[in-house]
Amino acid sequence: MTKRWDYLHEKISHHLQFIYADVVTSTPIGELATELMNTIGLNQEDDIVIPEPHRNYWDEQDIVMITYGDSVINEHESPLFTLFRFLHTYCKNTVNKVHILPFFPFSSDDGFSVINYSSVNESLGTWSDVHRIAAEYGLMFDLVINHCSSRSMWFDNFIKGEGPGSDFFLTADPTADLTDVTRPRTSPLLRETETANGTQHVWCTFSHDQVDFDFRNPKVLITFIQIIKHYIDNGAKLFRLDAVAFLWKIIGTKCINLPQTHEVIRLMRTLIEHVDPSIIIITETNIPNRENLTYFGNANEAHAIYNFSLPPLLVNTMVTGDCTYLKSWMMSMPPAQNGTTYFNFIASHDGIGLRPAEGLLSDEEIGTLVQSMQNFGGRISWRSSEHGQQKPYEINITLFDAMQGTVKGPDKFQVDRFLCAHAMMLGMEGIPGLYIHSLLGTSNDYDKVANTGQNRSINRKRWDYSELESQLDSPYSQHHKVLTRLSQLIRIRKAQEAFHPNATQFTLQLGPSLFGYWRQSLNRRQSIFCISNVTDEEQSILLSDLNLIGTDNWIDLITRDQIEDVLGFVQLKPYQTVWLSNMDYEEYRKSQ
């Protein structure tokens, strides 16, 4: 038994002692630690990898595309092969990582109610299709860890009272006081289920088809470590821990963000990074900003956290023409220490979450934002508050249609406003994630909403590949314009050292109409001033306010215009962004 193995075994045992401190387990902690290590492939006779602390396994080249396995389909071939074809044809020089949303057999919630964690949904393709994508792109897998489908074999066995999974699910006494439990949905928390052991009331955080696991049972933890190992073996380089904030429940608490949940993430991090230190864990915690930040731990939990407050604040900025709240939030965000980073996004398969805006926007301001999005064809999903009130949970709308206009109504600046929003996000500290329907400038899909009855379907269009090709090949289509201009921005971003996810960032004070921040590369060779006009009127920047170093040569990376007078003005058109860099012009031309 090697010293490294002994050390790791002791560390894992420490995690387990914390997790199960108040739980009686049939397996001693030391034996459980050994089983978890063996399950993920850390054997006594093998050399144990020692991860380098605070190392960044990412840089300015990293761009993640978020997509369903069947967002693009083509007759007579598997959707996952069509997705590979799309990536190879249209994203080869822009995207290097791909988050394929759950591609496993499922019963509801477009994949997030998993029936079988170990196989690929036959309607999407096979593991060979997944491997083809993983060979060329860093692949993010969803670990749907809080719940599974009520149609899974495990839940069938729970009902029968025997077999694997029969003891995997959380039940509660319906007479217990559950009023403090945080709910992201309005459906009843408990599902009454007839089983061989009598009537059981199964905990369902999200829907009655999504039955919650009981992680107090170590068998559930062991099973998920088996799943993680299976995903790593099949090409996973990033893990998205779905709805992980709800993982551990204790009646009498809010049942969210509990210490045991954080410790389970730390345990998974310890196991995964000793198998492959370059694998990245991202926590999907759609919660208020201050709570979200805790999932970094001390650089020992998530490598990256979703920047959930960014979408509502950025959309609010664009429709009001006032960046005050976005700027205040950005100033309050702590720099991510090395070994951690933010995962920035402004559109996803779900919608624009509003809980992360709580405490940042007032109820009245959220109401105005909601009304504006409804005016642009958006739908609203609701949740129940602690006091039983109905509150808006998220806005369901494509980002392209969210940018139709302002609080004053639709206008002619939709494409420019949409691109401005992405330019603001692309320059920020963190790794950018772009939803496929943002790359394509997709509009609201009302037919799909009508067919499914689900608000979220509005932003989950399934493109026919030949139709999409026709649109992308037409210079007059919104889809061609958006993909072409977004791809240009991405390529520029990837060439700048100062856009490293952990490069220094400072917020600029330029008034409510101009949103600006300064980035400096880790080696301090490059500075970039990122400034966006968030209004529908022209704005001027007095360059002396930026204190540009007069001995440097300054250039706008986007327009390629050189700055001749560092004490002069730069005029910004409505929704124009400039990236002013001290890069030499000839050096810039070579980088392009």
CATH of the domain at 223: 3.20.20.80
State whether 158 and 191 are in the same domain.
Answer: yes
pLDDT band at 85 (very low <50, low <70, confident <90, very high): very high
CB 299 within 8 A of CB 286: no
Tokens of 496: 């700048």
Q: What is each CA distance from 219 to 167, 269, 462, 516, in whole angstroms?
A: 9, 18, 38, 50
Catalytic hit among 109, 129, 212, 242: 242
Q: Are residues 533 and 432 in the same domain?
A: no
Residues 265 and 368 placed together within one structural domain of the fold: no
Tens digits of residue pLDDT in 190-233 = 999 999 999 999 999 999 999 999 999 999 999 999 999 999 99
Does residue 142 lie in a domain region?
no
By residue range, what is the domain housing residue 530? Answer: 504-591
Separation of alpha carbons 338 and 350, rounded Å: 30
Is residue 436 a contact partner of residue 65, using CB atoms and an 8 Å limit? yes
Number of structural domains the chain divides into: 4
List Cβ neighbours of 518 (8 Å cut-off, separation of 6 or more): 504, 505, 506, 508, 527, 528, 529, 530, 546
> Is 187 found in the same domain as 169?
yes
Do 397 and 488 share a structural domain? Answer: yes
End position of a domain, from candidates 281, 299, 317: 299
Question: Tell me, what DSSP letter sits at residue 444?
Answer: P
Pick the residue with more confidence: 209 or 591?
A: 209
Q: What is the pTM of this model?
A: 0.95
- 235 and 208 in a single domain? The answer is no
Does residue 53 fall inside a structural domain? Answer: no
Which comes out higher in pLDDT, residue 359 or 96? 96
Closest alpha carbon to 354 in 367, 341, 372: 367
User: How far, in Å, are 44, 370, 434 from residue 457 at the CA level?
Assistant: 49, 18, 18
Among candidates 292, 266, 235, 223, which has minimal Cα distance to 99?
Answer: 235
The sign one gets for the Cα dihedral 474, 475, 476, 478 is positive
Residues 482 and 584 in one domain: no
Same domain (yes/no): 288, 305: no
What CATH code is carried by the domain that includes residue 535? 2.60.40.1180
Q: What's the CATH code of the domain at 201?
A: 3.90.400.10
Q: How far is CA 398 from CA 73, 285, 370, in A?
A: 20, 21, 14
Parallel, antiparallel, or unpaired for β 190-195 and 198-203? Answer: antiparallel
Alpha helices in 65-204 (DSSP H): 79-90, 127-134, 153-160
Say which DSSP state 458 is in.
Answer: G
More confident residue, 547 or 259: 259
547 exposed, middle or buried (CB, 10 Å; 0-12, 13-18, 19+)? exposed
Domain limit, last residue, from 468, 499, 530: 499
Stated as kind and residue range, the H or E segment containing 199 is strand 198-203
Contact 478, 467 (CB under 8 A): no
372 and 357 part of one domain: yes
Judge whether 140 lies within some domain. Answer: no
Does residue 138 lie within any of the structural domains?
A: no
Residue 385 predicted with pLDDT over 80: no
242 labelled catalytic: yes
Confirm whether 401 is domain-assigned.
Answer: yes
The answer to whether residue 73 is domain-embedded is yes
pLDDT score of 584: 56
**Are residues 226 and 366 both part of a single domain?**
yes
- Residue 585 has a pLDDT of 46
Same domain, residue pair 186 and 257 = no
Shared-domain flag, residues 457 and 376: yes
Identify the H or E element spanning 148.
Answer: strand 147-149
pLDDT tens column, 265-313? 999 999 999 999 999 999 999 888 899 999 999 999 999 999 999 999 9
The verdict on residue 207 lying in a domain is yes
The sheet with strand 390-396 has its strands ordered as: 352-353, 390-396, 379-384
Ramachandran quadrant class, 87 (left: phi over 0; alpha: psi -120 to 50; beta: rest): alpha
- Helix axis angle, 310-320 relative to 324-332, nearest 10°? 150
